[in-house]
Amino acid sequence: MSAFKRLGEVVASPDGDVTYTLDFGRDEFGTAYVAVLAKAQLTLICQRSLEPFQLPVEVDTRLGLIVEESEEASLPPGYEALLVEQDGKLDLVATIEDELLLALPLVPVNPDHELPDDVTGPGEDETPSQETSENPFAALRGLIK
């Protein structure tokens, strides 16, 4: 993962591998594309517990290669636009890194982490106290009669 400098700045640990496959081609409409399939186990910091955790990240996307921004509107549905240089050159490392960065959650939270009871309140099997279940307007009921 050392080749991905920007990704290394947002993860808790730059250790690990990224596996990827790139498939270049043209679809039935003649649109040039690159299909990106990338997988990685990234170490992120949980924003609930502030502890590191492993998050499996998988990217499976098809990028339509365009030279001018005006070409984006003509891309078929399901394609994301990828602006390339006039000569058609493409920075593959940056492309893979961009897709992995886009796949990261905005706020990383470990799905296995449970919040403490003082934050979540009583559990389902716990019965609330009599004071909290009493209707605050019960005293008014007698005044209406």
10-residue stretch averages of pLDDT, the chain, 145 residues long: 87 90 93 95 92 94 93 92 87 93 93 68 57 70 71
**Exposed, middle or buried, 106 (CB in 10 Å: 0-12/13-18/19+)?**
exposed
Q: What is the pLDDT of residue 137?
A: 76
14 part of a folded domain? yes
127 part of a folded domain? no
124 part of a folded domain? no
**Domain range enclosing 66:** 5-114
Q: What is the pLDDT of residue 111?
A: 85
Pick from 64, 66, 67: nearest CA to 86: 67
129 part of a folded domain? no
122 part of a folded domain? no
Task: Give the burial string for 27-60 (b: 16+ CB within 10 Å, else e).
Answer: eeeebbbbebbbebebebebeeeeeebebebebe
Domains in the chain, number: 1
100 part of a folded domain? yes
Q: What is the pLDDT of residue 88?
A: 75
121 part of a folded domain? no
126 part of a folded domain? no
Q: pTM score, two decimals?
A: 0.72
